[in-house]
Structure 1
């Protein structure tokens, strides 16, 4: 049959309106060492940080663990936080040497875009062809990468013979396909997207061949069949437009809750993450993903990209950077979020232009395999520092230097207060006089407020020495038209020490609500993380952070 080169990441239809869907650094790719090749269990990355879930287990190869200080790639940084960072790929791309050089060095996990789907694996009933899937697995083994199997049951890219079967024969065909494919790749993939996209956007079930024959019970049957074929693989259900709270996410939550209660062997939920700057960022993404984790399941972002209407401009790029930042923050804020996969790393091979007319520029690398600002955003959000001389560089470690860390003390993004909690950390070797220090947290007022109130609710150094105020920016930019400025009337910070908690609050004079979801400095993490979107100044000169 004709090979469908890039039909896309399980997304044939266009999202309805209103739903979410250069300054690059030189590539820091260092080919990772392969420290284990196993036919049994695999651990990807290093042991998780305190409170984090195990990264991923299954079968493939393990990558060398590194500390954040040693990190040179996105996956290195993710490993240091107990997670993986991966990319989708496809067979035609594997002949592009420049492309595979980056694919094999920057990422710890890869997902085949098309070569494990039903129309490729079993184009005719009972005739299985694993050539293309095996090529992706072989590449991963050569480069010490884990493979996510994608996918076993999906309504799309389904051979016509399946839909033509009498209803009484569909279950046997489905079980045979799952058993054959999962058995073939047993010990070679760490996870499977067992069922892909079972819901319509309104939360109703798709009426495909499987649902028509078995009702929703096909889902539980698919998981049980996959588990019987490969008991060590992590088994996921995967869908788009479930990243934020809404009817589709609620339907998925109800289904998954039922599967867990019934003892179905499901291990995780995949949130695809196909976003678009012309739509709002998914509402309460972290809180939404957390409720699935609270069921005892792993969660992961499986197909992340952020597209825009072309041509790109500074405003769209800034929104794209913000969306990538918020998605990473959502994962890092959930201990059971095991990793992030982007849906191919480069615009050169992105599925977006061929699916969404007039849209593109969705990936962190451009068509020439050069990194974009989105790459820098991912790099810094995962804990990396920018090159010396960049505004985000924390300074010469031989002198007094500061960085700011942030955690969100308010899960609501649409109430009448902004409540950031900050701490300053002296990363240098000499004492810093806090009276020379100011910190800026950038946000948008959203509507005319007239005035603002700013308070210190608690500070380990004493609120009496903390002076918060709200300042208006000379010119509004995407994500910021005001900033909360914090200065100090007394105190000093010794090398290696921190201020401890500084709990702040901003409200409008009319007490109307903020929309913090697109604010430049806003993050969803509820534990302290480095915050390069919050500026730190000594004597008026920036020493940490990048201004909007």
Structure 2
């Protein structure tokens, strides 16, 4: 749910997260000695409820999280798709402007997914965040156009070539669309280094480079702010209009955009009043009418405005999951639901948006002890009651059982 003016969800990863992974030699697999002790591995897997309806159920994950063997077991149990949370961001791949590409962490996260028969959604090839302390403002904003093109598109090509035929879905451009009533440049944000150095065609060219590098991959644009008014007061209808304008320009020019990712960071406070189901379904229909697959890519619930007590709070968070998914999954062109993590143990919201009462947030299907909470049951029920659709991708799990 980030913008250039907000404290972003991954800011803490650039410090504490880096220390957490230092010296790590490998990742665990689904079959760990701890798996039987994890309550979340004793309940029915979410991915299976989704698969019965032709949906993919996934979760984001990072190598530093998966060093936790219990969490690795939980993730392997419930997710059929892995969204790379930060291992393919530039602070991992290219820590400084002059460093070569380091695929150590990206290799690990892809290998974990392959061992556990999970598809991979690679994130993010183009973004204005995720650079880390090794990058200064002058390294991004004050460089010649030819250097910017070489830096951006050269990195894209190298990453996609390395994982060609191993990563079937890419988030090519993330968070490039304007929020609010400002229409930007045809709906695109101008406060992005690539816009300033390359120009507004940086988005279109990124998709063309991606398609030229791997013509079999599904190429996705990803953004947030479509469900309710956001924490900055922006209305979802404005973001929806800007998004359709951007997509119409791209698709009208023959740019190979195949899918649209809706992050799905939901605000619990008065969600039942602020979420306009008909308007939202109309937006999903507009995306589908443009021939796009739709993925919910970073689903969680910000529990501001909810009680401190965990019982009532969990019930209200679960109600948000139910209301949102029951509406969203009416659209048959929604082909995947990806939680932004599975457990409160690693939620970005505690770091970036701590609750005023000092209690830990509870935005996900499993709590910090990896026990299923009401959100798990709500998500599983919504997946199970969704209309059946044709699967968009063949999952390695559909021919095996876990």
| Preserved CA contact (<8 Å) 1:12 1:355 | no
What TM-score results when the alignment is normalised by the length of structure 2?
0.76
Q: Distance in 2 between matches of 1:528 and 1:260?
A: 28
Gaps of 5+ in 2: 8-37, 229-235, 390-402
| Preserved CA contact (<8 Å) 1:29 1:102 | no
Partner of 2:159: 181
| Preserved CA contact (<8 Å) 2:141 2:196 | no
Is 1:99 matched with 2:71? Answer: yes
Q: Distance in 1 between matches of 2:204 and 2:118?
A: 29
CA 1:122–1:210 in 2, change beyond 3 Å: closer, same or farther? same
Q: Distance in 1 between matches of 2:252 and 2:292?
A: 12
SS at match of 1:153: coil
Pairing partner for 1:120 from 92, 103, 120: 92
CA 1:128–1:222 in 2, change beyond 3 Å: closer, same or farther? same
Is 1:137 matched with 2:115? Answer: no
Partner of 1:375: 376
Is 1:75 matched with 2:47? Answer: yes
Root-mean-square deviation over aligned CA pairs: 2.4
| Preserved CA contact (<8 Å) 1:191 1:236 | yes
Is 1:298 matched with 2:293? Answer: yes
Post-superposition CA distance 1:236-272 (Å, at most 9, x none): 1101103464111210111011111111011011000
CA shift, 1:226, in A, is 0.8
Is 1:233 matched with 2:224? Answer: no
| Preserved CA contact (<8 Å) 1:243 1:288 | no
Question: Which structure features the higher share of strand residues?
Answer: 1
Post-superposition CA distance 1:389-415 (Å, at most 9, x none): xxxxxxxxxxxxxxxxxxxxxxxxxxx
CA 1:109–1:10 in 2, change beyond 3 Å: closer, same or farther? farther
Partner of 1:219: 203
Q: Distance in 2 between matches of 1:241 and 1:374?
A: 21
Partner of 1:40: none
Partner of 2:330: 333
| Preserved CA contact (<8 Å) 1:300 1:331 | no
CA 1:143–1:276 in 2, change beyond 3 Å: closer, same or farther? same
Q: Distance in 2 between matches of 1:93 and 1:11?
A: 24
| Preserved CA contact (<8 Å) 1:26 1:371 | yes
CA 1:176–1:379 in 2, change beyond 3 Å: closer, same or farther? same
Partner of 2:343: 346
Partner of 1:289: 284
SS at match of 1:212: helix
Q: Distance in 1 between matches of 2:206 and 2:45?
A: 36
Post-superposition CA distance 1:463-506 (Å, at most 9, x none): xxxxxxxxxxxxxxxxxxxxxxxxxxxxxxxxxxxxxxxxxxxx
What TM-score results when the alignment is normalised by the length of structure 1?
0.57
Q: Distance in 1 between matches of 2:281 and 2:316?
A: 18
CA 1:276–1:140 in 2, change beyond 3 Å: closer, same or farther? same
Structure 1 stretches of 4+ with a deviation exceeding 4 A read 9-15, 312-315
Post-superposition CA distance 1:6-56 (Å, at most 9, x none): xxx7567559xxxxxxxxx954559xxxxxxxxxxxxxxxxxxxxxxxxxx
Q: Distance in 1 between matches of 2:110 and 2:284?
A: 29
CA shift, 1:97, in A, is 1.0
